[in-house]
A and B are shown apart, each in its own frame.
Chain A
């Protein structure tokens, strides 16, 4: 019998009726994009051959059923994500695509080296702009761009941070084009997604056990311990066994599952602003046996909301006096307040220059060519070429407020151009990238979909990262937007050990 609940045509290619259709039988490579699995139609890349052969021998239904089971278990375990502004969608899972994406050791080496380099430079940049400002004096980065950025925190000027580490964790979005890996953006404030990376890995490891074992995939499960170690290293001087907490905005935050998950992985308390209080310059949490001193706060709350006395006064999520305790050096906040200035979409354009300036090296990972509308040439170029560009608002993330020129109607473009003219400094534009594609399971068998990857880098007294990433995939055919908040899905990324 042919198991084919989706009503797909099968056995038309001459395979026996008991076999059904092969997964990659009708896979059509997209002529314009780099394909992560195939180098030519029907020819898998060397490191993908074994996987490709094994998957091809499985029934698409079988994989779809495993996928559905995994997604149901995500829902039951509450591995969910909330999309703001969507009625009734308070808790949604991030759909998982069960066809793993493979990265060979050489590719990963480039990514890893590039990320280490980038994070090192970004930390030096932050120390510089909140300190001596050499990079302004040397006219590498314009001072007004940085000081005028809404994420710049004047309160951080001249403040010593432990070990000079501003960014203890980041999640960098990387895509592959025909020219190699390109950094799309650095998320230096409160990057999320690491829990989905781990959940996807667990789901695939359980369901495709034999395949997984045969591939010698490098492990990522120790991420929680590395994170804890990193945070412990950043404790205020003289604290040997620091009390670490994870500060969450609460259950209504879109990434609450992740906060909960990481607190459990690290074995630390998950606190909300109201659980903490500041007394005599120290931070304490309220426990059933009294107040307990807190030394390191891994905060998943935006700068604006961490302390109503220092930042936004109407914040209900923060703890009054927290920034005061931080200034005194009695508590570490990771990431430090004010790191957002370095992942601003305009400042992003200068990261390659920062790497050359601080490290005297050429960037390992390229940037996307970026036009700043704050500059007259950038503005006119953007307005003249709107139909071929992606335009983003500098302060927005998560794929909100952006225009994809080629996909927009003339009316949409005209309206957007009007917005840009009103406030040019708020916009940047980039060419539409030829993001690579990877095969994904669809109702009609495997088909190419755009993918990116977000590895997570930790920086304490040394830089650490697990060989893996949250690989996001645009599940809608032709879509270039992989953001989870815009309906993207996830894939497991297998970094091969040799």
Chain B
């Protein structure tokens, strides 16, 4: 497969997963605004911004401003910032635009249906603004956008030829998911330390964002324990939105595309080491030591950046001298 096409598919995966994740974070946060006190809503925004490594343009609420109107105005601005802000490269609209731009480049290998689905999702988001969705039902907008992305993945699963293109799409998708999940859990612990007295609703929300609440209830009928939840979201290989599961998918995709190339071994080895660290080192850390937990999660994030560089250097931008 042409390297640029592989790279295009890889980035479609990354951007769509990023947009989808943004939708989940925001629909959850907007839901909390229905029945939670202002202070808790403010904390929710802080966690959300920390998870996406960004500071709101106008800052957070100062203490003493915990008043309903301030909170609403703030929520409006922040939702706008994360959804439509042109200068925020990770805003949902920008992610969809970037995914579509990559799709345009590889349209000849993308089926008509996959392209139309992505194109329509983008056109829908392009043509609205925060004022429209705010006056309507904001969470409906995020659900709709997320559904469009899921439809795209559904068409991909049912129609794509299983060549390198397929593997690179999912490689990008799951590298992104690994990185985003590690960042989210890290941000959550920073905002709500595990050993500190906790509000169950905050932790339930974390599970919901990761679509893990139903599975968690089945497995752990004895209630919400933050430490156990963190373990579940990081190390359970069967949970679609766990770090370990995402890493498993990354390893699979890398195995499929490596075709015995020496440089390719580096990327595969790094992904393998990341998975092994979760299988073997993660359970051995002190679960009450938030610093150790967060360091492990930051390690995952840092490794993702290096992994991305390995992949790009091996498959996308290699020099003649490195060509097999």
Q: Which residues of A contact B (CB under 8 A)?
A: 76-78, 250-251, 256, 260-261, 263-264, 269-272, 274-275, 277, 279, 285-291
Is B3 in contact with A288, judged by CB distance below 8 angstroms?
yes
Q: Does B101 count as interface, using CB distance less than 8 angstroms?
A: yes
Contacts of B310 in A (CB 8 A): none
Nearest CB in chain B to that of A245: its residue: B2
Is B323 in contact with A290, judged by CB distance below 8 angstroms?
yes
The B interface is mostly helix, strand or loop, or mixed, namely: helix
Q: Does B320 count as interface, using CB distance less than 8 angstroms?
A: yes
Q: Does B107 count as interface, using CB distance less than 8 angstroms?
A: yes
Contacts of B119 in A (CB 8 A): 76-78
Nearest CB in chain A to that of B116: its residue: A76
Q: Does B198 count as interface, using CB distance less than 8 angstroms?
A: no
Contacts of B315 in A (CB 8 A): 288
Is B108 in contact with A263, judged by CB distance below 8 angstroms?
yes
Is A286 in contact with B318, judged by CB distance below 8 angstroms?
yes
Q: Does B224 count as interface, using CB distance less than 8 angstroms?
A: no
Is A277 in contact with B107, judged by CB distance below 8 angstroms?
no
Contacts of A264 in B (CB 8 A): 107-109
Q: What is the 8 Å Cβ interface bit string for chain B, positions 107-131, against chain A (1 contact, 0 not)?
A: 1110010011001100100000000
Write 30 A-B pairs (CB below 8 A) sorted by A numbering.
A76-B116, A76-B119, A77-B112, A77-B115, A78-B104, A78-B115, A78-B119, A251-B105, A261-B108, A263-B108, A264-B108, A269-B2, A269-B5, A270-B108, A271-B4, A274-B4, A275-B3, A279-B320, A285-B2, A286-B2, A286-B3, A286-B323, A288-B3, A288-B6, A288-B168, A288-B257, A289-B164, A289-B324, A290-B261, A291-B323
Which chain B residues numbered 67 to 110 have a C-beta less than 8 Å away from chain A? 101, 104-105, 107-109
Is B2 in contact with A287, judged by CB distance below 8 angstroms?
yes
Is B101 in contact with A251, judged by CB distance below 8 angstroms?
yes
Cα distance A78–B114 in the bound complex, in angstroms = 12
Is A272 in contact with B320, judged by CB distance below 8 angstroms?
no
How near does chain A come to B266, taking the closest CB pair, in angstroms? 15
Cα distance A157–B52 in the bound complex, in angstroms = 60
Q: Does B219 count as interface, using CB distance less than 8 angstroms?
A: no
How near does chain A come to B264, taking the closest CB pair, in angstroms? 9
Which chain B residues numbered 251 to 272 have a C-beta less than 8 Å away from chain A? 257, 259, 261
Contacts of A277 in B (CB 8 A): 320
Is B1 in contact with A78, judged by CB distance below 8 angstroms?
no
Contacts of A290 in B (CB 8 A): 261, 323-324
Which chain B residues numbered 1 to 21 have a C-beta less than 8 Å away from chain A? 1-6
The A interface is mostly helix, strand or loop, or mixed, namely: mixed
Cα distance A250–B5 in the bound complex, in angstroms = 13
How near does chain A come to B267, taking the closest CB pair, in angstroms? 12
Contacts of B2 in A (CB 8 A): 269, 271, 275, 285-288
How near does chain A come to B253, taking the closest CB pair, in angstroms? 12
Contacts of B3 in A (CB 8 A): 275, 286-288
Known: A260-B107, A288-B315. 14 other contacts (CB 8 A): A251-B101, A251-B104, A261-B108, A269-B5, A272-B4, A275-B2, A275-B4, A285-B2, A286-B3, A286-B323, A288-B2, A288-B3, A290-B324, A291-B323
Is A78 in contact with B107, judged by CB distance below 8 angstroms?
yes
Cα distance A405–B105 in the bound complex, in angstroms = 42
Cα distance A291–B3 in the bound complex, in angstroms = 10
How near does chain B come to A302, taking the closest CB pair, in angstroms? 20
How near does chain B come to A290, taking the closest CB pair, in angstroms? 4
Nearest CB in chain A to that of B317: its residue: A286
How near does chain A come to B257, taking the closest CB pair, in angstroms? 6
Cα distance A271–B4 in the bound complex, in angstroms = 8
Is A291 in contact with B320, judged by CB distance below 8 angstroms?
yes
Q: What is the 8 Å Cβ interface bit string for chain B, positions 44-63, against chain A (1 contact, 0 not)?
A: 00000000000000000000
Cα distance A272–B116 in the bound complex, in angstroms = 23
Contacts of A279 in B (CB 8 A): 320
Is B107 in contact with A287, judged by CB distance below 8 angstroms?
no
Cα distance A263–B115 in the bound complex, in angstroms = 16
Nearest CB in chain B to that of A252: its residue: B104
* Partner pick for A256 among B4, B104, B120, B320, CB 8 A cutoff: B104
Cα distance A285–B318 in the bound complex, in angstroms = 12
Cα distance A274–B8 in the bound complex, in angstroms = 14
Cα distance A251–B105 in the bound complex, in angstroms = 6
Cα distance A78–B117 in the bound complex, in angstroms = 11
